[in-house]
Amino acid sequence: MEFRPGGRTARVRAAVLRAAEDALIENGFAGLDLADVARRAVVGKTTVYRRWGTVPALVAELLTEMAASSSPRTESGWLDEDLRANARLVQRTLTDARQGPLFRSILAAALTDAGTAAALRDFYEVRVAEWAPVVEAAVARGELPAGTDPEKVIRAVSAPLYYRLLTAAGPEEADADAAASVAAAAARAGAFRSPGPPVRGADRSAG
């Protein structure tokens, strides 16, 4: 019974992850403390220490949950539209009243904590894999050159938005639309093609 959805374990987990978000937003990663999270979640300290053990483990599980509950991709059948939807989703997340400060805290932690960096890499792999099919579909439709690497295109859409977050103000919606347009233009120009497979008939082992 312990693991049924909506059961006590699931409720405790939800309360603890929500409390961890609150604590990260208020105090940042350096101020995150399992006893404080337990108090905020109204859960026994022993439960939190036994279940999560360390702050990086708790943040890693928070990122797993954030990846699992993030918005699914849209598929409009038109590359520019899909990339713009992806860019606007990233932009809205980074500037959301709650998600924005939460991401800033986690990104800051990942810059100096290797465990959080690894958990954050997993988060982006899940998110990039969720959106890669819109690029695969564009290749299949002939909108993009064969051999275009879908993950590189999706990462190229996000990159300018995170760069703005780090080095300028924003990002704003116009930045999202520009990021999508630039990635689409570069993709159409073949800039994200992976090195091709060996040419058929060319026996490389004989070289």
Q: Could you tell me if 33 and 45 are in contact, meaning their C-beta atoms sit under 8 angstroms apart?
A: no
Query: Residue 109, interface with its own copies (CB under 8 A)?
Result: yes
The helix (run of H) or strand (run of E) holding residue 37 is helix 34-41
Among 86, 91, 95, 105, binds its own copies (CB under 8 A): 105
Pick from 87, 88, 132, 192 the residue near its own copies by CB under 8 A.
192
| Interface with its own copies in residues 85-104 (CB under 8 A) | 104
SS3 193: strand
Applying CB under 8 A, which of residues 121, 140, 141, 146 lies at the interface with its own copies?
A: 121
The span from the CA of 92 to the CA of 89, in Å, is 5
Q: Does 28 bind its own copies (CB under 8 A)?
A: yes
- In the chain, what is the greatest distance between 2 CA atoms, to the nearest angstrom? 68
- Phi and psi, residue 191, nearest 5°: -75, -15
Task: Report if residue 124 touches its own copies, rule: CB under 8 A.
Answer: yes
Given the complex with its own copies, which of 88 and 152 has the nearer CB atom? 152
Give every CB contact of residue 168 below 8 A, 6+ residues apart in sequence. Answer: none
Cα separation, 52 vs 43, whole angstroms: 13
Q: Are 63 and 120 in contact (CB under 8 A)?
A: yes
Min dist. Cβ of residue 71 to its own copies (A): 18
Cβ distance 110 to 116 under 8 Å?
A: yes
Lookup: tokens for 118: 């690894």
**Closer residue to its own copies (CB): 68 or 169:** 169
Radius of gyration of the chain, Cα coordinates, nearest whole angstrom: 21
Decide: is 30 part of the binding site for its own copies (CB under 8 A): yes
* Helix-strand-coil split of the chain, %, nearest 5: 70, 0, 25
Find the binder of its own copies among 7, 53, 147, 190 (CB under 8 A). Answer: 190
Pick the closer one to its own copies by CB: 22 or 47.
22
The interface region with its own copies, picked from 3-11, 40-48, 134-142, 163-171 by CB under 8 A, is: 163-171
- Mask for 128-147, x = binds its own copies (CB under 8 A): --------------------
Residue number with CB closer to its own copies (41 or 120) = 120
Note the residues at the interface with its own copies (CB under 8 A): 28, 30, 104-105, 107-112, 120-121, 124, 152, 155-156, 158-160, 162-163, 165-169, 178, 181-183, 185-186, 188-192
